[in-house]
Amino acid sequence: MRDSVTGLLPLLADGRFHSGQVLAQALGVSRTAVWKQMETLKRNGIDIHAVRGRGYRLATRLELLEADRIRAGMPPRALRLMSVLELLGCIDSTNSHLMQRIDSLDSGHVCLCESQQRGRGRRGRRWVSPFGQNLYVSVAWHFDLPPAALAGLTLHLGMAVADALSCHGHANVKLKWPNDLYAGERKLGGILVELSGEMGGGSRIVAGLGLNVLMTRDVDGHIDQGWTSLALLDPENPPSRNRVAGQVIGAMLEALADYGAGGAGDLASRWQRYDLLAGEEVELHLPDRIVRGRAVGIDAHGGLLLRSSAGLQSYQAGEISLRTVK
């Protein structure tokens, strides 16, 4: 797949027909090799039209990730915080890719890919990751803080990404505790923070973001909840993936640096602006029980505050799912 991404796909990205012979000459390979690469692309979910006498073309124009265009969308401070910008084709997961090497990576190592075969959300749920449609990005970071001090990090990152999207006119983004980005009542993206550290010592984390950018249909029928994308929110002005990538990566890098320097501020107060479920009757599904009550924000450490028949209680992130009672 990597050869197809670096060689064939850029030639097809304009959405026009290209003959097998012209493609073979451009790549310095045989027409059989071109056909094999086409089959590989199809197996990875890329919609390709083949017409006898005309050649091959993508069903829709494709904007591949480009390092220079991503950097152009980042603020100067974020550029200084980024140590590496790694662009990949189709991999298992950007989070897994970095977590496997977390001890050897510098803070600010950023990884993006065109598609994930095993993208994950919370509780190991699959994240649908069609090729070249959305953003799948992970950032490695080292903190001097112990793991227990990172309880509010996911919320802090979510607010930073929501701000970046809203400030650039993409959407009025809200957050569903603890890690989902929403536009209206539909999910736009999610954040997954994975941690490696020792009690009392420093922490190494990978913060992953999946964001629906250009996806306009459920590509394989596996999305089991209401979703949307930046393109669906403004169909007359579809966004640039590279520009959005620069915006959200910049927001994540600056948020990570601020959190490590004690700049997260008052989480509970800040959360009020983004809280999708404020005042809603909700259900919390815990491993051993279901708690019903009214969501009334978060505590100082990012725990969900729920007012129920037992009074006001706080619940931390973990094996918990949250859904509004219909």
Is 323 in the active site? yes
d(CA 296, CA 133): 36
Kindly name the residue from 122, 174, 204, 241 that is annotated as catalytic: 122
Burial class (CB in 10 A: 0-12, 13-18, 19+), 282: buried
Q: Six-digit token pair at 105? A: 């990576």
- Total Cβ atoms within 10 A of residue 72: 12
List Cβ neighbours of 221 (8 Å cut-off, separation of 6 or more): none
- DSSP character string of 1-43: -HHIIIIIHHHHTT---B-HHHHHHHHTS-HHHHHHHHHHHHH
d(CA 87, CA 63): 13
DSSP one-letter code for 150: G
Find out whether the peptide bond into 75 is cis, omega within 30 degrees of 0. Answer: no
Beta pairing, strands 84-91 & 109-116: parallel
Query: Which uninterrupted H or E stretch holds 321?
Result: strand 321-324
Kindly name the residue from 42, 80, 292, 323 that is annotated as catalytic: 323
List Cβ neighbours of 33 (8 Å cut-off, separation of 6 or more): 24, 27
Burial class (CB in 10 A: 0-12, 13-18, 19+), 181: buried
Is 187 in the active site? yes
Kindly name the residue from 174, 187, 204, 241 that is annotated as catalytic: 187
d(CA 292, CA 310): 10
- Total Cβ atoms within 10 A of residue 200: 8
**Residues acting as catalytic residues:** 122, 187, 323
